[in-house]
Each structure stands twice: as C-alpha cells, then as structure tokens.
Amino acid sequence: QSALTQPPSASGSPGQSVTMSCTGTSSDVGGYNYVSWYQQTPGKAPKLMIYEVTKRPSGVPDRFSGSKSGNTASLTVSGLQAEDEADYYCTSYAGGSNTLIFGGGTKLTVL
C-alpha cells in the first residue's frame, strides 16, 4: 500500500487561511470516511486534530476543519497563529489490506 501524497510544505501569514491536501485512491481516502489529521511539533508526540474526515476532538480549536472530495482529503487552518507552525500528517484506513496508511507530512510555516 503506497503512502498518501501530501505536499512537503505550506505557508501563510498570521490571520490567513491555509489548506493542506492529502491524496490517496478509491481504496483508501476515497473509499472510507476514516481520514484523520495529526499535528506534530519537534520532539513531541503527534496530536489528533481531525478524525473521520470532519470531526474535531474536544479541545481542538474550530479554526481547524477537515473535508474530503473524491480521493483527496483536506485540512484547513483558518486565522493562522504562530503556534500552528508544525508538521501535519494525514492518515486513512485502507480497506483492501485492512491497514492504516500515513501521508508523508506537510511542514506548515507561519510567516
């Protein structure tokens, strides 16, 4: 099972919105609503930001939102803040192999 495709970098200025993509296939992203997004800062464990495509865990700011269209999922961060600077990873359930696959990660820079 190949990794999901994420752009290596994204950036935006404070207050702006940025959208990060995560592209898979009909066997993973497109076939199931089990896409999650994680935020990771250096030296720390990942933190769940979005699960089941659009759901936000308790405590995650509503500036973070998820969506999906076809085989591509997206994470949008609105009203960018300096603290949002981190690596963001997407995952999807892959039904054919009953596995979880990660994207390569996107490094978000707040300018």
C-alpha closest to that of 47 among 55, 32, 36: 36
98 binds another protein (CB under 8 A): yes
**Phi/psi class of residue 30: alpha, beta or left (left: φ > 0; alpha: ψ in -120 to 50)?**
alpha
- Which of 3/111 has CB closer to another protein? 3
State which residue, 52 or 83, has the beta carbon closest to another protein: 52
d(CA 55, CA 75): 11
Please identify, using beta-carbon distances, which residue of 12 and 102 lies nearer to another protein: 102
Q: Among 5, 10, 47, 85, which residue interacts with another protein (rule: CB under 8 A)?
A: 47
Q: Is 17 a binder of another protein (CB under 8 A)? A: no
As measured in angstroms, the least distance from the Cβ of 102 to another protein is 5
- Give DSSP secondary structure letters for 56-103: --TTS-TTEEEEEETTEEEEEE-S--GGG-EEEEEEEEETTTTEEEEB
Nearer to another protein by Cβ, of 2 and 81: the residue is 2
- Footprint of another protein (CB under 8 A): 1, 3, 32, 34, 36, 38, 40, 45-48, 51-52, 57, 87, 89, 91-93, 97-105
